[in-house]
Structure 1
Amino acid sequence: MASSSSPYPKKYDVFLSFYGPDTRRTFVSHLHKALIDSGIVTFIDDRELEEGDQFFDKIREAIAESRFAVVVLSENYAFSRCCMEELQMILELHERRELEVFPAFCGVDPFRFEWSADFLERRSEMVEKVPNWDEALKRISELQFGGPFGFWRGDDSALVDAITSRIYSQLKNTETASATESSVIHTLVGMERHFEAMNQLLALGSGNTDIRIIGIWGVGGVGKTTLARYVYDKISDRFQDHFFMKNVDKMHKESGSSHRLVEEFMSKTLERGSDVMTKARLGHRKILLVLDSVDETEQLKDAVKDINGFGPGSRVIVTTQDKGLLLACGVNLLYEVECLRFNEAFQVFCQSAFNPKEDGPSLHSGWLSIRAVQLSGRVPLALKMLGSYLRGRGEDEWERALDELAAN
């Protein structure tokens, strides 16, 4: 697996890029099910997008928050502006080693794709709509032929299995390298300040044997998951069993029951080689459990019933955007992740907008960077997305982009 240059934990394992009318109900539906069944957290656009749809901002956010992208190239993929804009962002992140790409041709011959009469006829129209259209298609073709599925000649079901197995294997290899990741994560901007406050709520060194549930809340993109992962990596070795459960909201929607949460925790704990556990035996284990991205009261209320049966000294951390949800479930130990301080926000933005090998922003681009930080609201995810978009562009382009952002 190509190592990521970003130390920030990602929300999704996989982003699926595809043209809905071609493959949504066929290849993509089978691939999505296989990924989900393997426990791989996958983002899939579940509605048809029109050009200019405001929802595309969420698509860009999901790409930035994914570790892998599977690009399903079908007959009409290259003639969708949304698909091509997705592809350009995916390739930009891939070049910076922040995301790994798996291309898959579906229903088209990769050797003849670019020479079809229809392709050549519609080429000039798309070049006008999406700058660097040709370059993006050339690059994804190079990745296709140089990648693990470059000369694939099996059927679709076998390709689904191959892609799923490859991603699952690389994710497991990444988990075994968590110690290396933890050595990098200490550089995250502002984390030590948050960790000190969380430490007070966790009260790990006070001899408390009570079971504590701590709620981390704040607006979207402010860094709740990042903080939860940072705390988890710092303290997990103090517990007999520990598990970081990502995207609880999606798990609940797919399974229809939050009772699956503790069952999932037990299966993962068993997979890591600890004793076989039943709910009755959980009461004798000191457990650390993180429930990330909870968005419904029912999710947490159901989970709390099992959490109360954990062993003495256990700790549970819940992340959510909804403070009221935490209070409704009796969670009174709360920590709000506020927006970054200005100097922290400026540092995060510059990490994404400038090459670390360079000296940093010039005087003029420094002022533009300050404006970008102000427009982003000092929200980490917004800072990273804006910085990534502006990276490598000229100052005139920066000014236009920031003017457009200010006008919206």
Structure 2
Amino acid sequence: MKTRVAIIGSGPAGLLLGHLLRAEGIDCVVLERQTRDYVESRIRAGVLETVTTDLLHRLGIDQRLNAEGMVEDGFNLASDDQVVRIDIKALTGRHVTVYGQTEVTRDLIEAAPARGLDIVFEAKDVEIHGIDGDAPFVTYTKDGESLRVDAQFIAGCDGFHGPSRKAIGDGAEFERAYPFGWLGILADVPPCHPELIYANTVDGFALASMRSPTRSRYYIQVPLTEDIRNWPEERLWDELDRRFAPLADRPVVRGPALEMSIAPLRSYVFETMRRGRLFLAGDAAHIVPPTGAKGLNLAASDVAYLADALIAQVKRDDEAALLGYQARALARIWKAERFSWTLTKLMHRFPDDGPFEHRMQVAELDYVAGSRAMQTAIAENYVGLPL
């Protein structure tokens, strides 16, 4: 098989890139090692910046987004019994949209055949070759057969554990691991509050969020050593009810868990986002703690930059944007990392922190409550910095 761009990974980054290239008539193929059912069932984030929704509107893959997406004009930061509402709409003139990453992925996959985007699921043993020359190619196996894709460029959108970052080799790498994780539960119950609540409680961080008016996603902070078997559903619901009772508009409604898991938190940037004809985008190059809702959105901005650069190169033989892709993407990546790190520090109880550090958190939130300038800075970062 021959194509202009071989895209590795069918998460939102790879799928968005494929659709953006096909919209300009550029041939590409997406290789995915998992089955379609597995990809479409992965539970992920659900707060979309305008950068991300603008891309979906631009592609015209927005019918369900428009019908089911929940427009949110604000969110809340809480400490003990104090709740500070960040009015995104009033402060920035924009909003975020609650629409699950799972739904975005399904929409992009369903739209692929009509738009000529070829997705190869169950492409195993992917290996990347020849990226330092003019004729890179990818090999893989499917149904026991060895296959090859010759391309002009390769886009690595295959996450932290995929082969693309490894193919880059040594690079500038920065990481911060956090000493706790998030224990989450997803259930078909109405949310306890009309907007997200990020809470710094005496027992640690808690988040009340939603995927729809009838589906809620809750998290609490737990030690990295915690075993999920210690958390039967009723224990978690009791804990959520206790933490959000003084903060939310409504009681926490209980229901059977659709999914429960513990996710570790870390900040990670692999600054070497290009080697020869291979370009990284999304989680292959960076990971943010979920506190700032930046993971999917940061992948979308990477893809917007990379698509523009590849289109300029292929259609106009203009290599300038490709040469500048890494610097352009990293400028936005580090700002998103800064915001996610800052919000994580503000809203979590760190094991080594004492009364002084907690008083600093309370003072910071009290300052935010009385400062329009601080609220504006938070709102600008949460809704998404411009491309």
With normalisation by structure 1, the TM-score equals 0.23
Q: Which has the higher contact order (CA 8 A, sep 6+)?
A: 2
Is the helix fraction higher in 1 or 2?
A: 1
Is the strand fraction higher in 1 or 2?
A: 2
Larger radius of gyration: 1
